[in-house]
Structure 1
Amino acid sequence: MKVLVIGSGGREHSIVAKLASSMQVTELYAAPGNGGMADLATCVPIDVTAVDDLIHFAKEEQIDWTFVGPEIPLLAGVVNAFQQENLNVFGPTKEAALIEGSKDYAKSFMRNHGIPTAASETFSDVEIAKAYIAQKGAPIVVKADGLAAGKGVVVAQTVEEAIDAVENMLVGNQFGQAGSLVVIEDFLEGKEFSLMAFVNGSNVFPLVPARDHKRVYDNDQGPNTGGMGAFAPIPDLEQTVIDDAISRILKPAAAGLVEEGRSFTGVLYAGLIETADGPKVIEFNARFGDPETQVILPLLENDLLQVMQDVTAGDDPKLSWKDAYATGTVIAASGYPGSYEKQLPIPDLTQLPTDVYCIHAGTENNAGKLVSNGGRVLFIGSVHHNRADAVKSVKKGLEIFKDDPNFHYRTDIGFGE
């Protein structure tokens, strides 16, 4: 079969790498792809939201299946358009993807369907929002309503910090239209984890949980990012907590979307926190998490293309997992998540140890040389039967970036968990 993956990030490189191992895949394309995907797929210069061009390409090349990776094309209705043309596509419609596209909608959805989450209020007026913060106190969480590339969340430790965040979003237009509404919610104490599932309607097939690290610096310090590293499975997460999250969060969410006429097919992501009252939802996403995908797919034993076909047909894909541990760290451009330069030369990746894998997130080929093209540039990962060996391998892989002032990374992903 011919398969097209829409997207250009680390998540999509991981999807491409997994699909490349399928015996069913004869030709693989990525639109637009990146510098790392070019080794496995033919990269085609089509933007992720150029719906007509994507459909034209899929028809012209007789693509059998298309996998939509990022949230932006999902919310732009790429899946709807492919379905209207009777093209096989894996991902939710824009109506179903609203569970990620609007935090205000997600919160009201959870309230309506009894899904555990932090208490919250939504504001468009800065003065009313500031009065609410003053009344509630800190710590408190301020979120831009729309898509903000993983950076629209401020976990404020002080009232002043929360007020600054609200002013930046509602007055300073920090996130544009995405921040024209803000959701302010109670701070929840506990350990975070990500639980994803392949979903079709009310059918839910959970994946191995992973833990993502959002803060930019070691020991979870500094501002939130799109994710600085991840590992799976999670040694200190009890199976009872996972089962609770599946029965009280994932299954009711899938059933609720069907009930609301937004039936979901694709990957539903629940960003969760393990509290004293059980797991609660921090956020829903309508696609694979990034960078969690980079550690989960290497543990999946199934053929991903077959999984897509089974799930879409309403069949149980019978997911099977390696008895192993995967961990990995993101290499980011200096300055990220603030302003950063692009076109930075990337060290010689052939120097990486043989027991690590390298996923490209923000790279491109420029006149035959690999350079950066984003804030999160690469992901260095490793799979081993035990955690210590996996962490050790990644640590060795990070050494080629150690003295490079163009890049920075965390040094504690996978430790002490």
Structure 2
Amino acid sequence: MKKYGVRTAAYAYFSDAVAYLDELNYPVVIKASGLASGKGVIITQDKEFSFKALELMMKDKIFSPGAADEVIIEECLQGKEASVLSVFNGKEISPFLSAKDHKKIGEGETGSNTGGIGVVATNPHISEAIWQDFDENILTPILQGLSAENLSFASVIFVGLMITEIGVYLLEDNLRTGDPEKQSIFTLMESDFLETIQKAIKRESIEISSKPAHSCVAVMDSGGYPRPYRKEYEITGLETLHTSYYIAGAEKENDRWITSAGRVLNIIGIGTSAQEVYKNAYEAVKKISFTDTFYRKGIGLS
């Protein structure tokens, strides 16, 4: 990002960060530098909390082995988050609709980070001016960097953004579809997804069209997620749904769906307004039942 002028937060790497805690301007973001299933981020408000976060990550190893042997301490950006999926054909980047992902387990964006607790599309905080800023300061420099490094391939490019008072910043950049962002975006897609990917592989130009509507994904979790949770509970009520849903963490046993992970189901609501999609998604959620069911109740209203 620094090399090619992609706008992002100031940061530094540390293998022993404790000695620098007195020098930081709080709040800060402490991240595991390795893979942590989208959960390796802790925002700290002071030195004491930062010390505890480092102890949990580097000593107690609460994430996957080796994920936090080194950490990144980063400027804490304040604003509204956004997610944008795009398709790269080796020459051009073609974006889908924007989405707003909710990461925190608690209402009002509180508590621990999850891999995704709910999504709305399109993102209500992205105006035409903000999209222009994103194109100029994020998307174009990424494309220039890919070209300069001779990285020509066909793939989905996922970017996570923070919309601040002074501009759009890149939080993360991956070659994958985000889950559950993809369900909210692809639900509204009018273009053929397979045809889009085939065009990318052939290095052909891509135009992505979407319905003039909104979508909401309500994620149903196992109680306790993202911390330890129990599983292997039967899911009931799926046959009553009249809306789309996706199995995220369940396995079928003798015609019964049994929970097998923290994020269990992604329930989709579609409509012409935020209120309508919220109602459609959560009316469906209330028809589903399994032991220790948990879900955020305000997805799509903030």
Whether 1:156 and 2:156 are equivalent positions in the alignment is no
Task: Please tell me the residue identity of whatever aligns with 2:227.
Answer: G
Which residue in 2 is equivalent to 1:53?
none
Question: Matched residue of 1:228: which SS?
Answer: strand
Which residue in 2 is equivalent to 1:118?
9
Question: Matched residue of 2:67: which SS?
Answer: helix
Q: Which runs of 5+ in 1 are unaligned?
A: 1-109
Question: Matched residue of 1:177: which SS?
Answer: coil
Which residue in 2 is equivalent to 1:413?
299
Which residue in 2 is equivalent to 1:107?
none
Q: TM-score, normalization: structure 1?
A: 0.70
Q: Which runs of 5+ in 2 are unaligned?
A: none
Whether 1:207 and 2:96 are equivalent positions in the alignment is yes
Which residue in 1 is equivalent to 2:32?
144
Question: C-alpha displacement at 1:381, in angstroms?
Answer: 0.9
Question: Matched residue of 2:94: which SS?
Answer: strand
Q: Whose helix fraction is larger, Structure 1's or Structure 2's?
A: 1
Question: Matched residue of 2:97: which SS?
Answer: coil
Give the number of aligned pairs.
Answer: 301
Task: Please tell me the residue identity of whatever aligns with 2:5.
Answer: G
Q: Whose strand fraction is larger, Structure 1's or Structure 2's?
A: 2
Question: Matched residue of 1:414: which SS?
Answer: coil
Whether 1:235 and 2:121 are equivalent positions in the alignment is no
Task: Please tell me the residue identity of whatever aligns with 1:313.
Answer: K
Task: Please tell me the residue identity of whatever aligns with 2:293.
Answer: F
Matches of 2:152 and 2:28, distance apart in 1? 32
1:12-411 equivalences under 5 Å are: 110-125=1-16, 129-175=17-63, 176-352=65-241, 354=242, 356-401=243-288, 405-411=291-297
CA contact (8 A) 1:197 1:205 kept: yes
Moved over 4 A (4+): none
Question: C-alpha displacement at 1:138, in angstroms?
Answer: 2.1
Deviations 1:47-82 (A, max 9, x none): xxxxxxxxxxxxxxxxxxxxxxxxxxxxxxxxxxxx
CA contact (8 A) 2:120 2:299 kept: yes
CA contact (8 A) 2:86 2:94 kept: yes
Question: Matched residue of 2:42: which SS?
Answer: strand
Matches of 2:191 and 2:174, distance apart in 1? 23
Question: C-alpha displacement at 1:314, in angstroms?
Answer: 1.7
Deviations 1:103-125 (A, max 9, x none): xxxxxxx1111111110000112
Matches of 1:221 and 1:146, distance apart in 2? 24
- Distance 1:144-1:315 versus aligned 2 partners, 3 A rule: same
Task: Please tell me the residue identity of whatever aligns with 1:359.
Answer: Y
- Two-structure CA RMSD over aligned residues (Å): 1.5
Matches of 1:246 and 1:206, distance apart in 2? 10
Matches of 1:242 and 1:132, distance apart in 2? 37
Task: Please tell me the residue identity of whatever aligns with 2:154.
Answer: T
Question: Matched residue of 1:207: which SS?
Answer: strand
- Distance 1:317-1:350 versus aligned 2 partners, 3 A rule: same
Question: C-alpha displacement at 1:131, in angstroms?
Answer: 2.6
CA contact (8 A) 1:267 1:286 kept: yes
